[in-house]
A and B are shown apart, each in its own frame.
Chain A
């Protein structure tokens, strides 16, 4: 019997990966696209996701720009832009890559890290392959070991994120880490760190942050003007796009949103329960949770995750107009306001969420825990207590990177939405919105 299959087993394996991965991405892009009231200006963002995950192309960037892979929001993009490269946030959300990573990483490792390891091991995704350097901030045990895994294969820089923020020494240490990172960047791009380049890069990201803050403000005024899933897709696209391109797209989205608010066109009805999602990041294509919320009649009005608003809302506050001043401002911006559970004292996350409840008139909180993400799981108890005091319902939803649990999640999300609709949550949200705690 002759073997009619083409290519080596490894080539066939890679082709299977391409096909499966693209099929999942197409499915989720279609679902996002088919959600009603999609703004026309969302299409460029969806095209970016399609470009990377379906067409299997690299990041969207000006020709000749080098890519630097980052694995957390704590890597300041300004530093990478200043070096003449662009950051690509590589935290994985792919089910196909997760399945490959499942064979490499320990069983109890989080799916996000398994997906990254899967992508790295299969080595076919251009967006991963084109990265000249990997920057891994050490924020949890899995990232720590991921850094070890990547360093055996790729040029990798680890950034030690101090677990405390109160001491001056902690900040000083992170500034030094950023200087070391900058040296590594200079080695690959040949462009040394300078005040001019840094301030130019800060201007570049500030423009994006301005558009984003404009969008956040619009959304705060009218939480139902855009579907949360659409908003998350736009923010996910930032991970794979040069910030100057993304800013243009965001400006168009803001303009359209403004028009919609003026015309009173809302994406959801007023009586839809307003939900906030917090916890482990939601990375494309793993959009099952936001899609489920909106399919089941909820309105995803806000998110407190590192792939969402948290990743981009704080511009650096530069007090000292020198290179060192900007570096300090970047270190400050990356860690001090951050609500990542990597910090031992993370009360500000609770304050931030409470602020968001008030801003968006949130009626219920869904706490997303990726299986194995222990740091987020620890903080659930604290948040549950606080929400209990406010009378806001909260559920913990644990999920993995596969579709086997979708139906179970659907039942839970549906029940939660019904609970808000017909039960508690509504009155508290109205009170909070009026500023009466």
Chain B
């Protein structure tokens, strides 16, 4: 590989990190997150890391993963550089997220897959064919087939597969799948998710003290960190810093329109959409994508005497009910989460982010639009890929959307005052 290629791969991450760093210099606790994210693009780290288990995507229940593996290595996509590496292996219409995820695993620069078991869920057409590409390339893959509905047969099949998958991973890592391991994992994951929720609440009240991109990065580092407990400690510290700064200083709270992002996942380093939203004068109040929904799932409480099977059954049911992915005939998980967030946060507008090729989100758009129309919330469909050439065009559209939301806000406030 030419060094320029690796530079392009690293530069994209550096650019996003520099921007976040510049906007949030006053946050000392953010440094760890910037370092963690940057490490993912450091060739030495990637050569050294040699993960035992690579998790492709975010559809596998985290409780199960941590029960049989101490440090799963998540590959989510997000990088234009890795997407380029997979160009020749994928058809033209493949979505950039899948392309990028494949590029992380098959590339001329580093090999993460050596001796690793790749674990993934068959949640879309791309994913099912990526498995075949990886297997034909000699990689070891364990797949989880997600049923498209919630019938008892589907729950049974899903649970059965989870058990088998846990066994497969356990055999690879040497960590046996047992009730006690699963209970410990449930506790670890529940703690991490609770820290995440606490931090998001703190970030929401902190307003302009922390930028939206920084919030996204800090939260996403949960999947990038090598040690979950370390992430928990740092996110707690960052949350406390935000609260402290909020108490100490009077940061100006601008009355900017609040938008919610929904649809295709936004993965570091491609923070194009949050960047556009911020530069068009709006704030992100929430993100409703598969990543955030997955992390917001409330883990079932493990009873002292609960067996591994009973607990797994509970996990399967919860995940199958709440999972937000194109794998479902009707993506009720995402829809309910969207409705919950709207009710709780009252966004002024919704940005429906669709990565080119992820048609499952496009299919779901009319349902979201109908629900938003009833609530009188404008929806803006933003289709893009990982290229940066369309930034200017998107910015113009986004700015127009922002202006429209501002106008609506002014009119609404005026009406309220008159009344």
List chain A positions with a Cβ less than 8 A from chain B: 105-109, 138, 140-142, 144-145, 147-149, 151, 158, 160, 162-164, 167, 169-170, 173, 176-177, 180, 341-346, 372, 374-375, 377-382
Contact = CB atoms under 8 A, between A and B. Distances in A.
A142 B124 CA distance: 10
Contact of B359 (A106, A378, A379, A382): A106
A338 to B, nearest CB: 14
Interface of B: 89-94, 122, 124-126, 128-129, 131-133, 135-136, 143, 145, 147-149, 151, 153-154, 157, 160-161, 164, 326-330, 356-357, 359-360, 362-365
Nearest to A149: B363
Nearest to A385: B136
Given A145-B329, A160-B147, A346-B132, A105 B125 contact: no
Contacts of B147: 160
Given A149-B363, A160-B148, 15 more contacts: A105-B363, A106-B363, A138-B148, A141-B359, A145-B364, A147-B148, A148-B363, A160-B147, A160-B154, A163-B128, A169-B160, A344-B135, A346-B132, A374-B94, A374-B357
A140 B149 contact: no
A380 B160 contact: no
A108 B154 contact: no
A180 B154 CA distance: 11
Contact of A108 (B90, B326, B362, B364): B362
A131 to B, nearest CB: 18
A382 B136 contact: yes
Most chain B CB within a 10 A radius of its CB, from A105, A107, A109, A144:
A144
A138 B359 contact: no
Contacts of A378: 90-91, 94, 125-126, 129, 132-133
Contacts of A375: 125, 128-129
A141 B326 contact: yes
B132 A344 contact: yes
A377 B91 contact: yes
9 contacts: A108-B93, A109-B362, A144-B327, A163-B122, A176-B157, A374-B91, A377-B91, A378-B90, A378-B125
Most chain A CB within a 10 A radius of its CB, from B131, B132, B147:
B132
Contact of A158 (B91, B129, B148, B157): B148
Contact of A344 (B143, B149, B153): B143
Contacts of B362: 106-109
Contacts of B93: 108, 372, 374, 377
Contacts of A381: 89
Contacts of A379: 129
A108 B132 contact: no
Given A173-B157, A177-B153, A374-B129, A345 B135 contact: yes
Contacts of B157: 160, 162, 169, 173, 176
A148 B328 CA distance: 9
B400 to A, nearest CB: 21
A160 B89 contact: no
Given A140-B125, A374-B93, A151 B160 contact: no
A149 B365 CA distance: 12
A106 B362 CA distance: 6
Contact of A141 (B94, B125, B356): B125
B329 A180 contact: no
B161 A169 contact: yes
B164 A372 contact: no
Given A141-B360, A378-B133, A169 B148 contact: no
A369 B90 CA distance: 14
Nearest to B124: A141
Contacts of B129: 341, 344, 374-375, 378-379
A307 B131 CA distance: 26
Given A160-B147, A378-B90, A378-B91, A344 B122 contact: yes
